[in-house]
Amino acid sequence: MVSPLNDLRTTIQSPPVWRRFFHITAGSSIPLAGIFLPQVVMVWSLAALVTGGLGLDLARIRIGRLNRVFLRWMAPLLKDNEDRRVTGATYMAVAALTVFLLFDRPVAVASLLFLSMGDPVAALVGKRMPGPRILGKSPGGTGAFIAISWVIVEVMVGSGSADHRWGLMAGALAAGLTELAPLPVDDNLTVPLVAAGVMYISGV
């Protein structure tokens, strides 16, 4: 069955770079806000965002007309098959709510920045790098994910936003390996949760 999302992309001719740019800007806005806003404000704001995102996804999946309107406007930003399931953006919001609920601010902020910056960089580098693939993905893309995440760690530690450099770096490594792994759950959810868990265990 051909996805209507693919038909829309054929018509719109949207370059993948727009989705990467959206992932970086929208995804990074949540952890950056978390640096400055009280945790209780973040939790309530994210709870509202999750409720709205899940509500919209469930409604459009059930109502064909609503889904067609949604896809017409949002097709350039969606992955394949997101016309029939919860979007990655909603999974990201769920992950953000979870990490801000369960972990301290530095862990929550770092885990979400690893995802928002690392995932697009991994995709851009991996698609352009020749050579063998591991589980369908380029080792170079995974290396780029981990490298940019370690840069984030250095910025956070250097700015005084976080301590425990080695624990943060362990979380960044876990995030990169989770992105590489062929898990059945969307990596917008798994990457921050695994990274946050590793950082917590490491004493961050």
Show the CA angle centred on residue 117, arms to residues 114 and 122, nearest 5°.
95
Residue 47 · residue 113 · CB < 8 Å: no
Q: Among candidates 153, 200, 157, which has minimal Cα distance to 176?
A: 153
Q: Among candidates 121, 7, 134, which has minimal Cα distance to 75?
A: 7
Q: Strand, coil or helix: what is 137?
A: strand
Q: Which two tokens stand for residue 169?
A: 């770096």
Give pLDDT, residue 16. Answer: 58
Give pLDDT, residue 77. Answer: 65
Q: How many other C-beta atoms can be found within 10 angstroms of the C-beta atom of residue 61?
A: 15
Which residue type does 161 have?
Answer: S
Give the integer Cα–Cα distance in Å for 16 and 107. 30
Give pLDDT, residue 9. Answer: 44
Give the pTM. Answer: 0.83
Q: Is the dihedral of CA 194, 200, 203, 204 positive or negative?
A: positive
142 Cβ neighbours under 8 A, 6+ residues apart: 122, 126, 134, 176, 177, 179, 180
Residue 28 · residue 20 · CB < 8 Å: no
pLDDT by 10-residue block (mean), the chain, 204 residues: 48 53 82 92 96 90 81 69 79 95 96 93 78 72 93 94 92 94 88 97 91
Q: Which two tokens stand for residue 143?
A: 């290396």
